[in-house]
Chains A and B, each alone.
Chain A
Amino acid sequence: MSPPLFLTLLLAAGCDGGGAADNFDLVDLGSFTTDADGLVNIPWEAPEGVVSTEVFCGPYGYDTIATADDVSSPDGTMVFDDDAPYDGALRVGVLDDMLPVLVPVSPDLPAVAGEWSMNFFIDASELPATVSCSALARTGETSSSNLIDVNIVFVGVDGISAGMTAQAAESDDTVQAVVTGLGDLWSDLGVSLGTVRYSDFAGDVASATTIEGYSEFGNLLRTVDDGAELTFFMVQDIDLGDGASILGLSGGPPGVAGHGGTSKSGVVINVANVAASPEQVSLIMAHEGGHFLGLFHPTENDLGGQDPLGDTPVCSDSDGDGSLTSAECAGSGSENVMWPTAQVGTATSFTSDQGWVVARNPIAFPE
């Protein structure tokens, strides 16, 4: 049930201080109700001169997942098929609460003007279900050199490193080492850090500083404001439910670019290791920020898939044990920042295609 396009509300993306403030527009596509099988077609229009476009639908809660059954480009070509999710040049997650679909995530499928469409599928306990959708479109110039503004939000982590507060961060050696390291890693993408803001989390710090599960993760990301910047939440720990710590997590991927208030509007970084290794925190930020901006793991270490890029290394399971290790993939993946385990000092590079994708993200601003 798509609303007439002329009724869509064109909103200027509410940006403050971000260089990319004029880069993109946000369109409210309205509400869509699925059929009894959980399917509904969602069309969205990409304007002339489009550089990137992103549609996102939700919220539908943390106990429900959704994905795209398929996505078609304006010429009618099916560019994503859930039956073969790693075959094409687009990647769509199977996600709780909010589903973003970003084009491009590969030079093999650039954003073009016209009507795109997604057959949205939701696995809800009660059907039909209704979701709200919006679409972003960035137009204008592209460049191989880009600025990305960053907002670093400290969530009760001054007990791990005293300088991790909004007041102290600018002059704190550890925080500045982390930020410099992020800039160094992203320079291989053709990205420079633009404005770097620091703030202290204004909500319930005691509960948000240790993320336990996807609902706490999503609720933290919902506190992001609109703006053409990438928000990093620095927390004490992230545990998705099995007790062990993960190092970071991005909304999406890809994240909802430039639009706050969704469970996919930012990135969370575990800073438990920052005192011993600020370099590792830089790597986690570069990696999770890469996910937010549309990059994926070159190869999954459980052999469960690969990114849609032609120039990222592909690692094969040489010992045939059904999984990949960083040692096994030395020279064929683990030197890339998007490698799925943290290889500090080794994972330092991005590829040309990865830079191409990030340069077209709605929150990247051409220098």
Chain B
Amino acid sequence: MLHLFLPILLAVSAHAEESMHSRVVDMLSGMESVPSAAQWLALGPAAEAELEAIAADASMLPTQRGNALVALANFPTERALALLLATAENAEENTLLRRKAIGALGQGWGAGALPALSAALGQADAQVRVAAVRALAALPGEAAVGVLRAHLAKEADATVLAELHKVVSP
């Protein structure tokens, strides 16, 4: 009997995967709005795998990949963490993706992201450092403020300094 039902089961499974993919891509492509955490979570755990696949897929558009990284903050698993860390630390990666990964680390892992966010302050790209400053500023506790205060003396870029000054006094 299995040989009769197997093709049907495979077809149903493929349709469900395609449906999830197109739904997630749609949600990552909003003109002026982005989905809420509740909307992502409503898709269930299958959404996480789809977001990871899109984030890692160089054929997808940068904003789709970046928004997939941001959405992974709603699925704080070890696998998502590994992808976000790898993206944030990869100096060869698109600046937009590194910025989004840094923001997602702060949003999804909170104080647990302190080491990665502190390290991002050492990246050469000023926009990445701005993202790290913002992510650190949003963390609870004094440890992140201490990191930002210590970075103040080392920072030379005017845009990064302006962002730092919003959080810590010179």
Contact = CB atoms under 8 A, between A and B. Distances in A.
A276 B33 contact: no
Nearest to A273: B61
Contact of B61 (A210, A277, A327): A277
A364 B127 CA distance: 38
Interface stretch (A41-49, A79-87, A106-114, A235-243): A235-243
Q: Please classify how large the interface on chain B is, using the bins under 10, 10 to 19, 20 to 34, 35 or more.
A: 20 to 34
Contacts, number: 89
B96 interface: yes
B104 A327 contact: no
A243 B70 contact: yes
Contacts of A191: none
B96 to A, nearest CB: 5
Contacts of B104: 243
Nearest to A249: B32
A245 B29 contact: no
B169 interface: no
Interface in B1-55: 19, 22-23, 26-27, 29-34, 39, 42
B76 interface: no
Contact of B31 (A212, A277, A302, A342): A342
A245 B67 contact: yes
A243 B98 CA distance: 12
Nearest to A205: B159
Contacts of B156: none
Given A243-B70, A243-B73, A323-B39, A206 B30 contact: no
Contacts of A273: 61-63
A245 B31 contact: no
Interface stretch (A67-75, A194-202, A280-288): A280-288
A249 B32 CA distance: 6
Interface residues of A, number: 34
B32 A342 contact: no
Contact of B158 (A206, A249, A277, A288): A206
Given A243-B70, A327-B23, A280 B30 contact: no
A326 B26 contact: yes
Interface in B86-144: 96, 99-100, 103-104, 107, 126-127, 130, 134
B29 A341 contact: yes
Given A244-B67, A280-B61, A341-B30, A327 B100 contact: no
B100 A245 contact: yes
B63 A288 contact: no
A220 interface: no
B162 interface: yes
A245 B32 contact: no
B26 A246 contact: no
Contacts of A280: 61
Among B33, B39, B96, B130, the one with the most A-chain Cβ atoms within 10 Å of its Cβ is: B33
A366 interface: no
A293 interface: no
B80 interface: no
A340 interface: yes
A272 B157 CA distance: 23
B126 A287 contact: no
Contacts of B31: 246-248, 284, 287-288, 340-342
Nearest to A248: B31
Contacts of A270: 63
Nearest to B127: A210
B81 interface: no
Contact of A237 (B71, B96, B158, B162): B96
A207 interface: yes
14 contacts: A206-B158, A207-B162, A243-B104, A243-B107, A245-B67, A245-B100, A246-B33, A247-B29, A247-B63, A302-B33, A325-B23, A326-B22, A340-B31, A340-B32
Going nearest first, the 6 A-B pairs with the smallest beta carbon separation are A244-B34, A243-B103, A206-B159, A273-B61, A244-B70, A245-B63
Interface of B: 19, 22-23, 26-27, 29-34, 39, 42, 61-63, 66-67, 70-71, 73, 96, 99-100, 103-104, 107, 126-127, 130, 134, 158-159, 162
